[in-house]
A and B are shown apart, each in its own frame.
Chain A
Amino acid sequence: MSHFKLNLDLAMPRYPVRAARDVSLLTLDRRTTLKWFGAAMLAAKVELASPASKLVSISARQGYGGDPDLQHPSVPWPRTLSKEQLLIVAGLCDVLLPDDGRSPAASAVGVHEFVDEWVSAPYQEQQQDRAIILRGIDWVERQTALRSSQPFHRAPREFQVELFDRLIEQQKAGESKSEMATFLPRLRYIAIGAYYTTEAGIADLGHIGNQPMAGDYPGPTPQALEHVQQALRRLGLSL
């Protein structure tokens, strides 16, 4: 149970985690952490030692403790990103998750503010991410200054996307070749997790639930059942 950690959320979906109480994939979590996110931890250690990044130690701050009020959740730590840093994060999140006509852009549902909450948190994983994210923001700021007369958030969308593509290239180059290799994977994880836990994101996924039901749980609708039957038929299987 489990069920854990360097960071379960990072490594595995929530369900193995739930399973972990009784269904954990703990060891797997750890190993996949390394596999999927390319030694982000190691990178974080290196970057924490770097004088270049605008790191402010927040380790002295307190978390919410072992017995927080679950009925009235609140975030006890203050956010720490500057306005300029937030604008860059918002711009990057909107390249990742733009308004596509079906659901709003990331910044419209506060994803950049959640990134701020995340990197300002006093826990070890978030502090490691803080080093990675702040360094990435620095990089974007510097690259923008070199190539554009506008700040990143005001630069044309083509420019933003091009810079984003360069980050993807650095991710693919891997850690041995690029200091920025871990930035995009971590920003993706935080931003996508944040987006699809908003009402708009949940609606976009088509998730239905969190409503009390009277009587027996009905199981799949006829349409959902038919979909599975067709899928099985294509595999030469049947219910």
Chain B
Amino acid sequence: MNEPGRNARSTADVFDVAVVGSGAGGGMAAYVLTRAGMRVLVLEAGRDYDPVKETPMFTTARSAPLRGSSTSDKPFGYFDATVNGGWEIPGEPYTVAEGSKFQWWRARMLGGRTNHWGRFSFRFGADDFRPYSRDGMGVDWPIGYDDVAAYYDKVESLIGVFGSNEPIANQSASSPGVLLPPPAPRAYELFVKAGCTSLGIPCVPMHAAVLTRPLNNRPACFYATGCERGCAIGANFQSTTVLLPPARATGKLTIRTHAMVYEVTLDPSGRASGVRYVDTVTGKHEHVRARAVVLAASACESARILLNSTSATFPQGLANSSGQVGRNLTDSTGVGVLAQFPALEGRPAYNEEGTSLPHLYIPWWLHEQQKAGKLDFPRGYHIEFDGGRTHQPEMFMGVFGSLVGDVHGAALKERMRATYGSFVSFAARGEMVPSADCYCDIDPQVKDRWGIPVLRFHWKWSDHERRQARHFTATMRKLVDRLGGKIVAAPADDDPDAGLSMGGEIIHEVGTTRMGAKPRDSVVNGFGQSWDVPNLYVMDGGVFASNPDKNATLTILTLAWRSADHLVDQFKRKAL
């Protein structure tokens, strides 16, 4: 083998495991499998990426083109960590069925979307694993919270998550000593919390994958530079700083970048024999062999690979005897409100940046009422709020300038000073019910630049989500009113979709290779192992049987660790 961890190209090699993707699922698979002594090849469609060398720490908006504004080249702004990605990637299209709206965020870099992700890290609650039993919709998971609790502890201890255990229904507690202490709340967060308290709404420390204490040779956050840029000192979780370095250190890991996998190949006995990929630099098609294959390319990309892996035995795609590959696609719901609070004007200045993430949030607080049928929507949401002087001034100052009235000259400057730090945005992130209207399949006509058929998305919100969105907006009106503020942007009253985000826009897409108790209606078992092809595992969000309001990444990491342990165990038993 060549230098461990770099782009060895000995395709004659047979690896123990080929892992497709290097983000949360693929990074964790590589971490667990290499430490168990297995020879692992990670295939990443994008380029190599080193946050230590590439992260723009401390750089201000002024130094960037257009002051760092969002553009089609960098949709989350110039300094966002995403490389060669975004909603559209030249030469790598996807299509959206007529009448549907959907957007798909991709990154083409080592570590994938973990480099820029939001870092919010909530455990699922016990009821989150049995949604069908609770409200008769969707399906239950084949596993329960007790199956994963110890893995959540392991993941949180490895990546570092700050937060606190709070006695709230359907919120799971970490074991003592696992969570890092949460950072002190900011002034405007305490202000909002007081309003929440008066309305009986909990407002508690955020859970996020940012170090508030040194951990595993990584330093604590120094409270400057936004996490979405990545972190040169490794104080937040990225696959590239937390999972791949220790995997490389085993000497068992080979990483091949610019390797766009499009097919899982089979041996004559119907077992996975490896993967085919396009080298995106040379355009050459390559095959690599492995004793087991792990798909962790993201929920939709892994589904695409399976649907494109057709054969006489599997004419409708690999591991798809259930017909469920690509189905049950869900995203979090997203709705937002922006408010301005006169009471927060003229605040004494202090360093309000903190971790760059919210230090408090509002967890779903009506679980019991919902369970008892007292609400007109079945699934919950939480609220992330952000504002004040948390972020270095960027072009959003121009928006504030539009919200302070038609004044100009010295009066405008005075209003800008007075209102600075008095704006707070509130965003709901909620659970949708899996629906027959939301799925992806292969577009019958369109292919990407390498000739690989592309995904076509189908999407429609239901009244469940619209009612949930309206509940959020109505609640925000009460809260903002209680705090003497005014809402300056909110969903229009006549919006038929109640201000809901577009499908895929919240970038929490999961469910396309869901796990289940029976092969008839699921793609993988409770360990992420394909029912049809036992040496094929899925370790990304595709395996989720439902999509609770608790953001997916922490659970992707947790399930991937558990699945990788299962894969190791299967090898040890010579079951594969």
Kindly state the separation between the CA atoms of A95 and B74 in the bound complex, as whole angstroms.
33
Shortest CB distance A200–B (Å): 11
| Cβ A14 vs Cβ B391 within 8 A | yes
| B170 interface residue (CB < 8 Å to A) | no
> Are A18 and B356 in contact (CB-based, < 8 A)?
yes
Q: Considering the chains assembled together, what is the distance between the CA atoms of A228 and B421 in angstroms?
A: 12
Q: Which of B69, B335, B391 contacts A15 (CB 8 A)?
A: B391
Within 8 A of A (CB), among B162-197: 181, 183-188, 190-191, 193-195, 197
Given contacts A1-B505, A18-B356, A100-B410, contact A73 B63 (CB under 8 A): yes
Q: Which residues of A contact B406 (CB under 8 A)?
A: 168, 171-172
Is B353's CB under 8 angstroms from A28's CB? no
B373 within 8 A of A: no
Q: Among B60, B185, B482, which residue has its beta carbon within 8 angstroms of that of A235?
A: B482
A67 touches B61 (CB 8 A): no
Q: Among residues 191 to 239 in chain A, which have CB atoms less than 8 Å away from a CB atom of chain B?
A: 191-199, 201-202, 204-214, 216-221, 223-225, 227-228, 231-232, 234-235, 237-239
Q: Is the CB of A71 within 8 A of B56?
A: yes
| Chain A residues near B439 (CB-CB < 8 A) | none
Does A166 count as interface, using CB distance less than 8 angstroms?
A: no
A55–B99 alpha-carbon span in the complex (Å): 36
Please state if A13 and B410 are interface contacts (CB–CB under 8 Å): no
- List, in ascending order, chain A residues with CB within 8 A of B77's CB: 9, 14, 17
Q: Is the CB of B394 within 8 A of A14?
A: yes
Taking CB atoms, residues of chain B closer than 8 Å to A125 are 71
What is the minimal beta-carbon distance from A117 to any residue of chain B, in angstroms?
7
User: Distance (Å) between the CB of A239 and the closest chain B CB?
Assistant: 6
Cross-chain contact B429 with A201 (CB below 8 angstroms): no
Interface residues of B in 63-122 (CB under 8 A from A): 63-67, 69-79, 83-87, 89-90, 105, 108, 116-120
Q: Which residues of A contact B412 (CB under 8 A)?
A: 96-97, 192
Query: Taking A66-B86, A68-B74 as contacts, is the C-beta distance between A21 and B116 under 8 angstroms?
Result: yes
Separation in Å of the A74 CB from the closest CB of chain B? 7
Query: In the bound complex, do residue B185 and residue A219 qualify as a contact, i.e. CB atoms below 8 Å apart?
Result: yes
A3 to chain B, nearest CB (A): 6
Whether the Cβ atoms of A19 and B386 lie closer than 8 Å is yes
Residues of B within 8 A of A11 (CB): 399
Distance to closest chain B CB from A212 (angstroms): 4
A57 CB-CB contact with B under 8 Å: no
Q: Which residues of B contact A1 (CB under 8 A)?
A: 76, 105, 118, 334, 505-507
- Cβ contact within 8 Å between A221 and B105: no
Q: How many angstroms between the C-alpha atoms of A205 and B500 in the bound complex?
A: 33
- The reply on B292 being an interface residue by CB < 8 A is no
Task: Please state if A26 and B194 are interface contacts (CB–CB under 8 Å).
Answer: no
Q: A212 to chain B: which residues have CB within 8 Å?
A: 222-224
B74 touches A21 (CB 8 A): no
- How far apart sit A118 and B68, CA to CA, in the bound complex (Å)? 11
The one of A67, A96, A195, A199 in contact with B47, judged by C-beta atoms closer than 8 angstroms, is A67
Dominant secondary structure of chain B at its interface with chain A: loop
What residues of B have a CB within 8 angstroms of the CB of A174 in the complex?
A: none
Nearest B residue to A6, CB-CB: B70
Q: Which of A10-68 contact B (CB under 8 A)?
A: 10-28, 31-32, 35-37, 63-68
Q: How far is the CA of A25 from the CA of B75 in the complex (A)?
A: 14
Q: A189-B402, A204-B417, A213-B351 are in contact. Are A66 and B393 (CB under 8 A)?
A: no
C-alpha spacing A189/B416, complex, angstroms: 13
* A residues contacting the other copy or chain, number (CB 8 A): 108
Question: Could you give, for residues 308-344 of chain B, a 1 whenever the CB lies within 8 Å of some chain A CB and a 0 otherwise?
Answer: 0000000000000000000000000011111000011
Give min CB distance, A27 to chain B, whole Å. Answer: 5
Contact pick for B394, options A190, A197, A232, CB 8 Å? A197
Q: Which of A7, A171, A193, A218 contacts B70 (CB 8 A)?
A: A7
Select which of B86, B105, B338, B416 is within 8 A of A196 by beta carbon.
Answer: B416
CB-CB contacts below 8 Å: A102-135 with B:
102-103, 114, 117-118, 121, 123-126
A217 touches B354 (CB 8 A): yes
* Complex contact A227–B348 (CB within 8 A): yes
A98 touches B416 (CB 8 A): no
Nearest CB of chain A from residue B536's CB, rounded to whole Å: 30
A224 touches B401 (CB 8 A): no
Q: Which residues in chain B, 43-72, are within 8 Å of chain A measured between CB atoms? A: 47, 54-56, 58-67, 69-72
Interchain nearest-CB distance for A62 vs B (Å)? 9
B65 adjacent to A12 (CB under 8 Å): no
Q: Which residues of A contact B268 (CB under 8 A)?
A: none
Q: Which residues of B contact A25 (CB under 8 A)?
A: 334-338, 425, 427, 489
Tell me the bound Cα distance from A220 to B413 in angstroms: 25
Question: Smallest CB-CB separation from A185: which chain B residue?
Answer: B402
CA distance A125 to B75 in the complex (A): 12
Task: Tell me if B483 counts as interface (CB < 8 A to partner A).
Answer: yes
Chain A residues, Cβ within 8 Å of B229: 70
Q: Is B355 an interface residue (CB 8 A)?
A: yes
> Which residue of chain B has the shortest Cβ distance to A209 in the bound complex?
B353
Q: Name the A residues within 8 Å of B73 (CB-CB).
A: 63-66, 68, 123
19 further contact pairs, Cβ within 8 A, besides A21-B228, A23-B429, A192-B401: A5-B75, A16-B336, A18-B386, A19-B336, A22-B119, A22-B384, A27-B499, A63-B71, A66-B74, A73-B63, A96-B408, A123-B73, A189-B401, A194-B67, A207-B349, A219-B183, A219-B184, A219-B354, A237-B197
B contact residues vs A (CB 8 Å cutoff)? 47, 54-56, 58-67, 69-79, 83-87, 89-90, 105, 108, 116-120, 181, 183-188, 190-191, 193-195, 197-198, 212, 221-226, 228-229, 334-338, 343-344, 346-356, 358, 384, 386-387, 389-402, 406, 408-410, 412-413, 416-417, 420, 423, 425, 427, 429, 482-484, 489-492, 495, 497, 499-502, 505-507, 551
Name 29 A/B residue pairs within 8 A (Cβ), A-sorted: A2-B105, A4-B87, A7-B69, A22-B429, A25-B334, A25-B336, A28-B335, A28-B337, A36-B402, A64-B74, A67-B83, A70-B78, A70-B79, A73-B64, A117-B65, A123-B71, A193-B396, A202-B393, A204-B417, A207-B349, A207-B389, A208-B349, A208-B351, A208-B352, A214-B222, A216-B184, A217-B355, A218-B184, A228-B347
Listed from nearest, the 6 A-B pairs whose CB atoms lie closest are A22-B118, A25-B336, A219-B184, A193-B398, A192-B401, A13-B396
